[in-house]
Structure 1
Amino acid sequence: MNWRMLPMPRLLLPLVVGIGVGDGYSISWAYKEKFYWMIGGALLLLGTALLIRPNFQHRAWFGTCIFLILIGLGLLRMQQSHFWENPTHFSLQQTNDSLGVWGKILETRPSPNSYRVLLQVKATQVSDSVWQSAEGKLLAYLKVAEGQTLPQLGQCLYLSGAIERVKPPLNPDAFDFRAYLQRQGIYHQVFAPEGAWRLDSVHFQIPLTLRLQRFCIKTLRKYLPAGDTYAVGAALIVGERSQLSQEIKQAFSNSGAVHVLSVSGLHVGVLAIVLRWIFSWVQLGKGVQKLSLGLELGSIWLFTLLTGAAPATLRAAVMFSLIIGARAVLRQYNIWNILAASAFALLCWQPNLLWDIGFQLSFLAIAGIVAFQPWIYALWSAPNVVLDYVWKLTSVGIAAQLSTGPLSIFYFHQFPVFFWLSGLVAVPLSGVILVLGLLLFVLEAMHIPAMWIGKLLAFSIQLLNRLIEAIHQLPYAVASGFWWEAWATLVMYGVLSLLCIALYRRKLGWLNAALALLLVWTMAHWPGIFQAQEQNQLICYHVPKTSVLDLVHGNTVLTFSSADSIPEFMAAQNHRYHLLLKASRRLEWGSRLRWGHQVFAQENLLIWGKYRIGIWDGNVDMRVPDKCDYLLLRNNPWVRAEDLPSNLKLIILDGSNRFGTRRWMKKLAQEKGIPIHDTGEQGAWVLQGR
């Protein structure tokens, strides 16, 4: 592979560096304006020099200038995405929380106790009768009254309330929802009670893509049985994931087939192959042939917009657009240039995509398939066509997992062991389901009876669900508990890069370098493993409406919890992975226990080493002991000043307490001069052992 034949990867690298720098540092507008002039002047000088005297003896200087220009471009594009750089952002205009905002609904999703909508703000209310135009995205949680019409995509909405910044995670190592939203340009949220919001029916205009999506969903509801069959069909064909149950998500995730539950590059690829096959059957002249390429391109982009334009789908749409463009002008293309050019275009349009998980996994999967699949496939020559197809599909899955595995472990802390088996099932079946679904939509739009197509589609989805569930139930289907830091993930990709170079250059030195880097990676993890054996820690997590407390000693954890629930898993599991915990034991609150010489527990007292922790449960008629160092309040106990033990070091309020209880206890603690820790505001309470 000749590096000089790959200009787009070389141009992509400085753009990515600039976006990374721009995300970590803020530049004032005065310097930003100078940057624009510098970039424009440099481009003008380079263009003039190349036109006047195209001397390639100084290409190193030209390359360096272009490298610096692209770094500056990435930095500026990233800076522009920050809301504080936009003077028309709604948060910089509002001065009164009681005034309202008006905007268009981009996304809707039911959530516990409310209805979540993503609002594209169009105007803010600056006084009782004055509105001014505004920009920005706002995450709104709406309290819906009984019988009230639910908001829909494309509708406009008035609402008022206290708009606030999205809060950081309250538990150690928990998923950072604030950072996830910020990567999408969402920095603020609002909780709107009943009566604080209303729909604007006057400005309700449904876009064409939304009308098409509703038609597709209506068609699927007509032909598919309710439940998991419809939920998986809607997710796989049109990208509607709101009906997926937690059980079906877990089954697909643990089996390594979760990517088929969201419309991705795989689906766009299937559509492109089908369209190419259809047009190949028709003998076309040169003019009509270009028209067919235009229809193929238009169909791909219509499908991309129809399914929500996710980053992975956009990547595939841009790649196929470039490939179709190359075919239209009868030019050969290099897949590495196509892949890098699509990333370059998307990052110039939306630099925040660099941090999107779907964007990263999509590009890494394609890069891994291109780089490693031919070498893996060449390891075995299948004796017949069927086995050759199976081995080819398996080699594609292995190559994709090889390139996406480190990033998946970094984000999700698990690895699906039977990904190769689920790939043999999910890839062909998802292609069949997609083709049947699109055929069903066409027949329904033409008012042609399609009952047999609907039955075949339902059977295919049910077969996929059963096979994925069977793989999910296999012993050791998923290996979990991994914890990789960002540096470890980057080093592992360095190992894979060196391995790729060794394969293509066929030089042992690159392989030795990969093995040496892998050895360094392994040795760097040993100190953490030894330190984990000596750790001693107490963690009271913040979990809404319940109490969860971990006692960590070495690689073992003792958990006090009322129930093993999804909220507890979301709050505590990542931190348990980070601490490299191996063995665990779960107890109900109020259980009596003696755990070695470290822990003694009873109904209202926990003795941990030299610490005495009183536990006051509002559901149990029992006071705490007179002597304790810390007091944990749970389930809204009624506490008076005279009930508090003497010499308290700290009062802890966990997530099981209501707002009224927390407010009263803060007032009482202030009067008594006792420090207080509210996990709902300050995050989990962590006490290091002696």
Structure 2
Amino acid sequence: MGLLRFIPIKLTLFLVLGILVGFYLDISLIPSLITVLVSFSVLVFFYFGTKNTKSIGFGVFACATITCLGVLCISYAQPKNRFAHYTKNDFRGSHVWSVKVKEVLKANTFSDRYIVAVRHLDSLQVDGKLMLNIKKDSSQNLLKIDDELIVYAEIKSIRPALNPHQFDYADYMKKLGVYHEIRIQNSNYVLGKQASTTILGIAAKARNHIISKLESADFGKDELGVIKALLLGQRNDISEATYTNYKNAGAVHILAVSGLHIGIVLFILQFFLKPLELLPKGKTIKLITVVILLWGFAFLAGLSASVVRAVTMFSFVAYALYLNRPSNTFNILALSMFAILLFINPLLLFQVGFQMSYAAVFAIIWIYPLLQKSWFPKNIFIRKVWQLLAVSVAAQLGVLPVSLFYFHQFPGLFFISNLLVVPFLGLILGTGILIIMLSLFDFLPPFVVFAYDFMIKTMNAIIAWVAQQETFIFKNISFDIVQLCISYLLIICLVLALSKASFKKWAIFLSVVIGFQFWTFYTSYQNNEKDTLVLLHQNKNSILIYRQGDSAQVFSRDTITEEHRILSDYSIGERIDKIRFSKIQNSYTFTDKKILTLDSAVIYPPQLKKTDYLILTQSPKINLERVLDSVQPKYIIADGSNYKSYIKRWEQTCTQRNVPFHYTGRDGAFYFKQN
């Protein structure tokens, strides 16, 4: 592949390899530092010994050094590997924690949530990040970035996913460098009066000031939520219905200040600042001005991680445009990725937004020119429509495998929503920036507010119409990590074969197609061989699933449907096609194992002896010791429908009687063994 001739792309690929190796092998800081020093020393020896940078030995150790640098980079970025991290001390039990708010997260039904930086553990100066959950109270004001708190509390590990194929919030937070959380009431902290100010705090204050100005204008509620997301990266106020419409229409990227928005802002600036090129050193002045204004926009958007990433990437793109060498675009883009991962945060590599941004941009700069060459309509209107469609297709090809892997759905009418909205997104963003400036000077005419509100309302209506065409929304698509990798290989081989056809390229492409089919058949065969019984966790309900091949029978206490989130995640992950529903029963036989279910009615066959598994549901009022003597279970499982006080008492009894005890609310779903 011709792209691999570029040195920055090679460097970036090996840096990414090192980050992946360091993260998944969990290599600590000292060994990774030693390997970097050793590999770099050997590289220096090869350079001065051979004086030939094109030798195989020099190339091998150059790649090894960059890979080891990636390992060191991710090891240092992992908070637990730092010597001053709070986990290096005894943090069990309740302690006095001094923390500083770094990020305001979207609140859930029960609590307001924040990411806080740890400053002190009791009297010790430490660092690290925690998630702070404060129970909702309408009488209390929300915390702001840079607020400092003194909290006396016990930190706990963030609860991992309890059911198979469920979104693992603990793993998500781990990839943000957060391992524990604090849960408190509003009255359980002391707010510092003289908190130090950081640039993030200044940016957040600027954004909040702009939001207060916009809220005082006469925008509709839904329209204001979209405006905040479009211009300021604040998606917390978007209604669930509006967000779902954008997701189903394949236009959710419009609601995040990311690569698309920064790219549009860049080209708007390139257009309006073009007269600067007439000045002496005009191109250089224009480049500096564009980069400063891009970072100014990032500042107004609160300097969130996604915005900083996008502005960094397009600062490099602005430099590529300054050089006016299209062949350098890949180099510049790879260098931006290298810089972001090396100097800003290598953990960004594991975030979906980062992956989709770079996948989309790489696809656009590689595939879009090829689509342009394939057809050049003479009619200017048709040509512009074709250009826009080509950009949308290229971007969707880039993000399709990632989207299927994470979200398991594909909006078939994505090109319609993009065709109808994206051409006007520059106008929407440009007008929005103008409105922000006018509102800051308290000079925002009502007719401008009305016109912009109508513009956003029209965009929402178009998106809602596209989202209503449910026939074209392909949902519940099972897609694993192997299919993700093969799909990208398939796209690369197809583009190469179409761009410059040859027998070898088409043979490789067809081989990858066969490989994809083979993996699909293999996973289908594996699914048909599966025969499992699992008890899931859900509060106030009991869900038992017997899965045989591609069908499943769901036994539950309360009625649920296939659309239920827990069941939907399970059926997608396990590739289940047919589901039947039944009420949960008192006894089962799985292979040769006997299973007894005791609920609040406490009814079980008295003749049933030596049960293998005893499931306790609906908080049965029983003397567990008598039950143990009566049915002699080998294993006891309590699901999420039981009172926690009962569970604690049952666990103590099982510990005394040396009987294994499993609570789904702590230990996760329970798989019944066949042997």
TM value normalised by structure 1: 0.88
Q: Is residue 687 from structure 1 mapped to residue 667 from structure 2 by the alignment?
A: no
Matched, 1:389 2:381: no
Give the structure 2 partner of residue 239 of structure 1: 233
Aligned residues of 1:137 and 1:185 also touching (Cα < 8 A)? yes
Aligned to 2:7: 7
Structure 2 residue 551 is matched with structure 1 residue 556? yes
| 2:152 aligned partner | 160
Say whether residues 1:639 and 2:622 are aligned partners: yes
Q: 1:255 to 1:189 in 2, by over 3 A?
A: same
SS in 1 for 2:621: coil
After the TM superposition, which residues 363-378 of structure 1 pair with which residues of structure 2 at under 5 Å, given as runs?
Answer: 363-378=358-373
Match of 1:528 in 2: 523
Q: CA deviation at 1:412?
A: 1.7
| Cα deviations by residue, 1:436-458 (Å, 9 ceiling, x for unpaired) | 22111111122213322222222
Q: How does 1:441-520 map to 2 (within 5 A)?
A: 441-520=436-515
Where 1:189 maps in the other structure, the secondary structure is strand
Alignment-derived partner of residue 189 in structure 2:
197
2:603 maps to amino acid: R
Task: Look up the SS of the partner of 2:410 in the other structure.
Answer: strand
Identify the residue that residue 259 of structure 2 maps to in structure 1.
Answer: 265
Q: Partner residue of 1:71? A: 67
Q: Quote the Cα distance in structure 2 between the aligned partners of 1:287 and 1:193.
A: 59
* 8 Å Cα contact 2:214/2:439 also seen in 1: no
| Cα distance in structure 2, aligned partners of 1:332 and 1:46 | 34
Tell me the alpha carbon deviations over residues 86-128 of structure 1, each in whole angstroms, 9 at most, x when there is no partner: 1101221344532222121112232232221110112221xxx
Equivalenced residues, count: 665
> What do residues 449-508 of structure 1 show as CA deviations (whole Å, max 9, x unaligned)?
332222222222222222222222213232223223322221222222222333444322
Report what 1:597 is aligned to.
none
Checking the alignment, whether the CA contact within 8 Å between 1:42 and 1:69 is kept in structure 2 is no
Cα displacement (A) at 1:40:
5.2
Report the secondary structure of 1:552's partner residue: strand
C-alpha distance in structure 1 between counterparts of 2:185 and 2:607, whole Å = 43
List runs of 5+ in structure 2 lacking aligned partners.
Answer: none
Question: Does residue 1:118 correspond to 2:101, yes or no?
Answer: no
1:509 CA displacement: 0.8
1:221 aligns with 2:204: no
Q: 1:224 to 1:40 in 2, by over 3 A?
A: farther
Correspondence for 2:131 among 139, 142, 154: 139
Cα displacement (A) at 1:623: 3.3
* Aligned AA (1:632): I
What letter is aligned with 1:580? R
Aligned with 1:160: secondary structure?
strand
2:297 alignment partner in structure 1? 303
Matched residue SS, 1:110: coil
Selected match of 1:400 from 395, 400, 408 = 395
Q: Does 1:438 align with 2:450?
A: no
Alignment partners' CA distance in 2, 1:460 and 1:370: 30
Partner residue, 2:662: 677
Give distance in 2, aligned partners of 1:507 and 1:311: 43
Q: Give the alignment of 1:547-626 within 5 angstroms.
A: 547-559=542-554, 560=556, 562=558, 564=560, 569-586=564-581, 591=583, 604=586, 613-618=595-600, 621=601, 623-626=603-606
Q: Are 1:260 and 1:426, in contact at CA under 8 Å, matched by a contact in 2? A: no
Aligned letter for 1:658?
Answer: Y
Aligned 8 A contact 1:436 1:453 in 2: no
* DSSP 3-state at the match of 1:88: coil
Alignment of 1:352-363 (within 5 A): 352-363=347-358
Which residue is 1:23 aligned to?
23
Q: Distance in 2 between matches of 1:61 and 1:36?
A: 17
Measured in 2, the distance between the counterparts of 1:283 and 1:485 equals: 50
Deviation for aligned residue 1:362: 0.8
> Paired residue for 1:598?
none
Partner residue of 1:128? Answer: none
- Change in 2 beyond 3 A, CA 1:328/1:46: farther
- Superposed displacement of residue 521, structure 1: 1.8
- Please tell me whether the aligned partners of residues 361 and 407 of structure 1 are also in contact (alpha carbons under 8 angstroms): yes
Separation of aligned partners in 1, 2:219 and 2:603: 55
- Determine whether 1:667 maps to 2:652: yes
Amino acid at match of 1:626: P
Q: What is aligned with 1:595? A: none
Question: Using the alignment, how far apart are the partners of 2:548 and 2:31 within structure 1?
Answer: 52
Are 1:654 and 2:639 matched, yes or no? Answer: yes
Query: How far apart are residue 613 of structure 1 and its match?
Result: 4.6
CA change 1:48–1:322 in 2 (3 A) is: farther
Bigger drift between 303-312 and 422-431 goes to: 303-312
Q: What is the rounded CA distance, in whole Å, between the counterparts of 1:459 and 1:240 in structure 2?
A: 20
Structure 1 residues 480 and 329: CA distance shift in structure 2, 3 A: closer
CA displacement 1:267-315 (0-9 Å, x = unmatched):
0011112222222256741256544432221111122243244555444
1:383 to partner: Cα distance? 5.6
Deviations 1:322-363 (A, max 9, x none): 243356577776211111111111111222122221111111
Alpha carbons of 1:321 and 1:150: their partners in 2 closer, same or farther (altered >3 Å)? Answer: closer
| Aligned with residue 98 of structure 2, among 83, 102, 124 | 102
Give the 3 Å change call, closer, same or farther, for CA 685–649 of structure 1 in structure 2: same
Alignment partner of 2:672: what SS?
strand
Residues 309-318 or 168-177, more deviating = 309-318
Structure 1 CA distance for aligned equivalents of residues 403 and 427 of structure 2: 27
Residue 339 (structure 1) aligns with: 333
Residue 684 of structure 1 deviates from its aligned partner by: 0.4
Within 5 Å, which residues of 2 pair with 1:311-350?
A: 312-326=306-320, 334-349=328-343, 350=345
Gaps of 5+ in 1: 126-130, 592-600
Contact in 1 for aligned 2:203/2:300 (Cα 8 Å): yes
The superposition leaves residues 618-656 of structure 1 with CA deviations (integer Å, 9 ceiling, x where unpaired) of 4xx563443564443333332223467624343321122
Judge conservation of contact 1:549–1:561 (CA < 8 Å) in 2: no
Range that drifts further, 418-427 or 91-100 = 91-100
Letter matched to residue 622 of structure 2: V
CA distance in 2, matches of 1:10, 1:434: 36
Identity %: 26
Corresponding residue number in structure 1 for 2:242 = 248
Write out per-residue CA displacement over residues 50-78 of structure 1, whole angstroms, 9 at most, x where no aligned residue: 9xx6x56x444433332122112111111
Compared with structure 1, are the counterparts of its residues 456 and 638 closer, same or farther at alpha carbon in structure 2 (3 Å cutoff)?
farther
Contact 1:561 1:586 (C-alpha < 8 Å) held by counterparts = no
SS for the counterpart of 2:94 is: coil
| 8 Å Cα contact 1:371-1:500 kept in structure 2 | no
SS of residue paired to 1:263: coil
* More off after superposition, 217-226 vs 668-677: 668-677
Counterparts of 1:49 and 1:328 in 2: how far apart (Å)? 39
